[in-house]
Structure 1
Amino acid sequence: MPKIKAEKKSRIHNEVAKQGIQFNKDFGQHILKNPLIITSMLDKAGLRPTDIALEIGPGTGNMTIKMLDRVKKVIACEIDTRLVAELQKRVQGTPYQAKLQILVGDVLKTELPFFDICVANIPYQISSPLVFKLLLHRPFFRCAVLMFQQEFAQRLVAKPGDKLYCRLSINTQLLARVDMLMKVGKNNFRPPPKVESSVVRIEPRNPPPPINFVEWDGLTRIAFVRKNKTLSAAFKHNTTMAVLEKNYRVHCSLNNKEIPDDFDIK
């Protein structure tokens, strides 16, 4: 059995090597190779000729090239300089060259410019922080059509009472309308990931709900620490009570409010 696995792994590596690129697992590089799925994602995004589109993790540019044909400009954010060079090579000397802007670096640490729409097959390990980076981005974008690991996508769209309903579900749906578009099998990628994937459409709520999201996120963090407990039980936990008392004392200090000597947060 070990010998068979080794041979299979070798065939995959040889196939990728022939194309001159060894994909980096640390960056979650799984290139979407099925043109029908790429076209479907672009169709569902509702791209317009006047749009500025953001793509995160363009890889070798399979989606980028098709997107450039439909929009005014594509801003592609890529951390791997080898793939940046590959992408530049694909558009060099073509009408697409002037329509493509490449941001080199970690998208989570990059200040994103204005964009109308985001379509991307993103690295799965940055899914959660990226979703909230996009949703808190201003000015608002129209929508995002994104490829995620299937279970993560299911959590995004989960409703109260569903087994997968969690902080991610409630926080995302507070800020956006979220719809599951399609499932994508692992064989549509090169190299294939270990998990199945799904495409989700995210449309920010504009105007956003009139709440402080940082405070809301803190509330849901406490509420979902023990998912099957009541809110009352969650807030009575010793660790939670200690945090609440600390925060209250800071609040009183900042607002010059006196705290009674016998004060007890309980």
Structure 2
Amino acid sequence: MLDPALPSEANALLRAHGLRPRKRWGQNFLCDRNVLDRIVRAAALTSGDHVLEIGPGLGALTRALAGQAASVTAVEIDPLLEPILRETTGGLPNVRLVFGDFLKLDLGSLLEEAFGGGPGVVAANIPYYITSPLIERLMGQKGRICRMVLLVQQEFAQRLAARPGTDEYGSMSVFAQYHCRVELLGTVSRHVFVPPPEVSSAIVRLTPALPGTVAVQDEARFFRLVRAAFSQRRKTLLNTLSTAEAGLSRAEAEALLRRCGIDPGRRGETLSLEEFARLAAG
């Protein structure tokens, strides 16, 4: 059997099935055992863990995960990869393949089938264009997830882990860091993929926090204020919160900021999660 973790054999698999990586779905297949091992170690799997893998591609990570976990449910959007995946995972009784669009599947049912009654682990090598909606969707079910280990574009990983006052810090930083403990575990060269993407990637681990990493009574208000604060990065909080999105008049925005001890002349990118939580409570 050809090994999808080796670049030459991954290419041979594709040729044997008359396939080429499809740009439509951002297909860049990870073909490096060292990186696969790093992802599996980051997942900290035990023999009793159940894993949901999103985007198995040729099955290299699927095989590595199956060697450590009780089961792996792998969701692949590209039906043309089914013959390859059935070939590369055919000897693994603890692997279940699902073909469909993860963003459109019934996530509650999928997690029930993948994890059973308890929480499980998510692992994925995902294309940049679906990273944000994928993470947002998973956060809606974070009580069912122990941890997520994602291989994403390096720039996006830096945004997830960014600190206040940096160029990378934005609404996605606040969203991720409210819902999870975010750990940036290292970069991955573009040259370990078939075909190589244009940019480097990074491994990030997200460990869900229930209900969140800071105390927030009204999450809808919290995130509404976060989105408004970052809607125009060069403007002050007084201006960005005096909008329909924030639901505040200029006088109300100024009063709220002063009650919370926050200078109305600051910009949203300087606020910590704790300060956003104060605004939401104010």
Q: Same fold (TM over 0.5)?
A: yes
Identity %: 34
Q: Structure 1: which amino acid aligns with 2:241?
A: F
* Equivalent pair of 1:140/1:206 in contact (CA under 8 Å): no
Q: Quick one: structure 1 residues 91 and 206, their matched pair in 2 at CA, closer, same or farther if it must change by over 3 Å?
A: same
Q: Are residues 1:18 and 2:24 paired?
A: no
**Cα distance in 1 for residues equivalent to 2:188 and 2:142:** 30
C-alpha deviation, 1:17, in angstroms: 5.3
State the one-letter code of the partner of 1:101.
R
Is the 1:77–1:102 contact (alpha carbons within 8 Å) kept by the matching residues of 2? yes
Asked whether the equivalents of residues 16 and 22 of structure 1 are also in contact (C-alpha less than 8 Å), the reply is no
What is the Cα deviation at residue 163 of structure 1? Answer: 1.3
The question of whether the paired residues in 2 share the 8 Å contact of 1:178 and 1:201 is answered with yes
1:174-185 → structure 2 map (5 Å cutoff)? 174-185=178-189
| Corresponding residue to 1:120 among 117, 120, 124 | 124
- Alpha-carbon shift at residue 140 of structure 1 (Å): 2.7
| Structure 1 residue 200 corresponds to structure 2 residue 194 | no
User: What is the TM-score with the length of structure 2 in the denominator?
Assistant: 0.75
Following the alignment from structure 1 to structure 2, what is the Cα–Cα distance between the partners of residues 186 and 19? 24
Instruction: Please tell me the residue identity of whatever aligns with 1:89.
Output: E
Q: CA deviation at 1:73?
A: 0.5
Deviations 1:214-238 (A, max 9, x none): 433222111111113222111235x
Within 5 A, what are the aligned runs for 1:1-266? 18-20=15-17, 21-92=19-90, 94=91, 96=92, 98-110=93-105, 111=107, 112-114=110-112, 115=115, 116-208=120-212, 209-237=215-243, 240=245
SS of equivalent to 2:136: helix
Letter in 2 for 1:58: P
For residues 20-75 of structure 1, give each alpha carbon's deviation from its aligned partner in whole angstroms, at most 9, with x where no partner exists: 32111111110000111001110111011001101110001001011111111101
Q: Which residue of 2 aligns with 1:6?
A: none
Size of the aligned set, in residue pairs, is: 227
Query: Which structure 1 residue ranges, 5 or more long, are not aligned?
Result: 1-13, 246-266
Q: CA RMSD in A?
A: 2.0
For the 8 Å contact 2:59–2:89, the answer to whether it is kept is no
**What's the offset of the Cα at 1:135?**
1.6
Paired AA for residue 188 in structure 2:
V
TM-score computed with the length of structure 1 as normaliser: 0.79
Whole-Å Cα distance in 2 between the matches of residues 217 and 91 of structure 1? 41
CA distance in 2, matches of 1:53, 1:23: 25
Per the alignment, residue 253 of structure 1 pairs with none
- Assess if the C-alpha contact under 8 Å between 1:140 and 1:204 holds in 2: no
User: Aligned equivalents of 2:142 and 2:123: distance in 1?
Assistant: 17
Q: Aligned equivalents of 1:40 and 1:32: distance in 2?
A: 12
The SS at the match of 2:144 is: coil
Q: Secondary structure at the match of 1:43?
A: helix
Q: Is contact 2:45-2:68 (8 Å) kept? A: yes
Structure-2 separation of matches of 1:196 and 1:214: 34
Separation (CA, whole Å) in 2 of partners of 1:118 and 1:195? 24
- How big is the shift at 1:212? 4.0
Give, in angstroms, the shift of residue 104 of structure 1: 1.3
Distance in 2 separating the partners of 1:77 and 1:211: 35
What's the CA shift for 1:105?
0.9
Q: Distance in 2 between matches of 1:230 and 1:153?
A: 26
**Deviations 1:80-126, CA, capped at 9 Å, x for gaps:** 0121221112232x2x1x31122211111112314411111112210
The one-letter code matched in structure 1 to 2:128 is: Y
Q: After superposition, what is the alpha-carbon deviation per residue over 1:147-178, rounded to whole angstroms, capped at 9, x for unaligned?
A: 11111111000000111100000111011010
